[in-house]
Structure 1
Amino acid sequence: MTTATAFVPSRFQLTRHSDTFWRVTFDNGPLNLIDGQMNLELHQLLDLVEQDDQLAVVLFDSNNPDYFLAHYAADADMSPLDALEPKQATPWLHWATFLVRLSKSPAVTITALRGRARAAGSEFALATDIRFASRERGVLGQFEVALGVIPGGAPSTRLAGLVGRGRAFEIVLGGEDFDGDLAERYGYVNRAIPDAEFVEFVDAYAQRVSRFDRRALGDIKGFINAASLPDDIAVMAEMRAFGEAVPREPATRLIPAAFQAGWGQPGDFELHLGTRIAEVTATD
């Protein structure tokens, strides 16, 4: 079990503003990619959250104005996840398990979305309790269908309850980007805030909630979770379906083509991924 004194994350910064309010700021290279080490450290973070009987709010933000969490780094070293139980689980199931733990964590979790959060980045945001987006800088999307796979971290399962069946199909089947305005209109995020006001608004909200009684917050979260969270079995089934799709056609052709086009690298392809990912399918 992770202890507070031993925890020194390398993929994000943990700031304990008070006993009741923590901030997690993602800081992992030019794209803020999720990799095996970040996945491990996020599990370790939740160990601390689950052990703390005073913590009320955890706010997640990014030090990168262009990327909140770009997506999972498909070519990343996954060996850090060997430290997690069960040992026989695939790296992808460790990601799904983290998302389930995040949604059920005792603290209220808030995503402060400035920059891009696609695929696993979008899945992370959807697993938090509240999502605020910068109107000008926030971007969400699930592009996996263009690579011949399904999204693995349960957006198909979560989105239907948030945005409705038709809009869930639109988001997951289209593979396009949704800016802050459209994401707010659909219910993909709670609210889109002008970027000039974003930090002040989100910090004030997080601070306000963190001052309320923790037991009351936990009870409220428990009742809302019971009424709204997808079944854990459905979440894991979605991730298993993703894992089964990766090693088969057409993913075995499309994923290398995406890397060749600039996927996972700083540049125009990543910046405009929701549009340009369709080029991979068109030219394959």
Structure 2
Amino acid sequence: MKKLLAALVSSLFAISVFAADAAPAAPATPATVKADTSVVRASATKKLIVNKEIPGYWKVTLSNPPINLIDDSMFDDLYDLVGEIEADPELKVVTFESANPDFFIAHYSSAKPRSRFGIPPWIETAKRLAASRVLSIAVIRGRVRGGGSEFAMALDLRFASRERAVFGQPEVGTGLIPGGGALQRLPLLVGRARALEIVLGAQDYDADTAERYGWINRAIPEAQLDAQVAEFVKRVLSFDKRVLAVSKAAINTAGLPVEAELQQTQDTFFQTFGWDGFKQRIPKLMQRGIGKAGEFELNLGKHIGELE
């Protein structure tokens, strides 16, 4: 039974196509290298590329082919990146975008704990990023579901492509619960009723609906997204860092979830891999193609409700 459960847990979010590229248990210490006029943060996993060309501004590109799953090694890299963000006295803004236009972050993936911490310290990472003096922004194209949606919600702002962005919390449809903050952050952003609709319905939502609900700040036409984000970043960079930091800290007192509740929910999330609901649905999800590049992942919100 234990072997069967381990296989089931392995199968849902870490399909064998990723096994060959899986990160080692203890990623090497990141190094900084020059690439053209940019400064790129290189790591053993190479899933975060950080452009530091503009003073006071880091542009982070998330890259984990083929569908940009967020796994334990990426969580470790994000933890390390937050430490670097906190240590830079001149940094004002960090943006996060994807190298894959179809997937900002597909969802969470973990065959087995590969974080050097055992379970990745996501709750701590999100808390420190929110408390930092730096403004964090998600620039969203493509699908952002599950742990990817929870990552985006943990950032300060979210701007999305009206034509390309798709949002979802599909966990309930897989027999799991959202474990990375959705159960706490969604009600703060969209209200109780809409949070229940999003989580219990496990459907996909377009960018216009996400904007109307308050899930994101703005849905922007694809052709204008980069320019509008760049203009906003330019404005923020022109302002005094101390004033920015104090203003953000004051708003944080009213707008952040309770850390203990986040931790409790994450602990329960890992327990749900052993629940009957997950074990009954995982064979169907595997057969249909969850975790693999293809039509099932592109339209996961639709297909996850068709497993009966």
Using the size of structure 1 for normalisation, the TM-score is 0.91
What does residue 119 of structure 2 align with? 90
CA shift digits 1:220-263 (9 cap, x unpaired): 11111111101100111111111111112111222343122111
Q: Secondary structure at the match of 2:193?
A: helix
- How far 1:78 sits from its partner (Å)? 3.2
Q: Distance in 2 between matches of 1:210 and 1:173?
A: 40
Aligned counterparts of 2:122 and 2:60: Cα–Cα separation in 1 = 18
* Aligned counterpart, 2:107: 71
1:177-235: CA deviation from partner (whole Å, max 9, x where unpaired) = 11110000000000100111111111211222122111111111111111110110011
Q: Deviations over 1:246-281 (max 9, x none)?
A: 11211122234312211110000000001111223x
The number of residues matched between the two structures is 272
Of 242, 248, 255, the residue aligned with 2:275 is: 248
Q: Distance in 1 between matches of 2:32 and 2:226?
A: 29
Pairing 1:187–2:250 present: no
More displaced 10-residue stretch of structure 1: 238-247 or 100-109:
100-109
Q: How far off is 1:4 after superposition?
A: 6.4
Cα distance change on mapping 1:22 and 1:136 into 2, 3 Å: same
For 2:250 and 2:136, the matched residues in 1 are separated by 15
Amino acid in the other structure paired with 2:99: N
Q: Which of 46, 52, 61 lines up with 2:82 in the alignment?
A: 46
Which blocks of at least 5 consecutive residues in structure 2 are unaligned?
Answer: 1-28, 34-40
Cα pair 1:152 1:239 within 8 Å, conserved = yes
2:65 equivalent in structure 1? 29
1:126 and 2:156 are equivalent in the alignment: no
The residue aligned with 2:54 is 18
CA distance in 1, matches of 2:179, 2:239: 35
Q: 1:41 & 1:235 partners in 2: Cα distance? A: 20
Is residue 21–residue 207 contact of structure 1 (8 Å, CA) maintained in 2?
no
Instruction: Please give the root-mean-square deviation of Cα atoms over the aligned residues, in Å.
Output: 1.7
The corresponding residue for 1:163 is 190
**Alpha-carbon distance change, 44 to 148 in structure 1, aligned in 2, over 3 angstroms:** same
Equivalent residues of 1:151, 1:242 under 8 A apart: yes
Kept after mapping to 2: 8 A contact 1:33/1:71: yes
205, 209, 212: which is aligned to 2:232?
205
Structure-2 separation of matches of 1:131 and 1:116: 14
Distance 1:197 1:53 in 2: 31
Alpha carbons of 1:196 and 1:5: their partners in 2 closer, same or farther (altered >3 Å)?
closer
- Aligned to 2:274, the other structure's residue is in SS state coil
Q: CA deviation at 1:63?
A: 1.7
Partner of 2:200: 173
What CA distance in whole angstroms lies between the structure 1 residues aligned with 2:283 and 2:75? 23
Which residue in the other structure is 1:111 paired with?
A: 138
Instruction: Find the aligned partners of 1:110 and 1:59 in 2 and give their Cα distance.
Output: 5
Offset, 1:3: 7.0
Distance, in Å, in 2 between the alignment partners of 1:14 and 1:5 is 10
Q: Do the aligned partners of residues 104 and 260 (structure 1) sit closer, same or farther apart at CA in structure 2, a change above 3 Å counting?
A: farther
Cα deviation 1:65-92 (Å, max 9, x = unaligned): 10101111133x532x12x4xxxx524x
C-alpha separation between the residues in 2 aligned to 1:264 and 1:97? 26
Residue 155 of structure 1: how far off its partner (Å): 0.8
Unaligned runs of 5+ in 1: none
Secondary structure, aligned partner of 1:269: helix
Percentage of matched positions with identical amino acids: 43
- The residue number in structure 1 matching 2:297 is 270
Instruction: Output the amino acid matched with 1:22.
Output: W
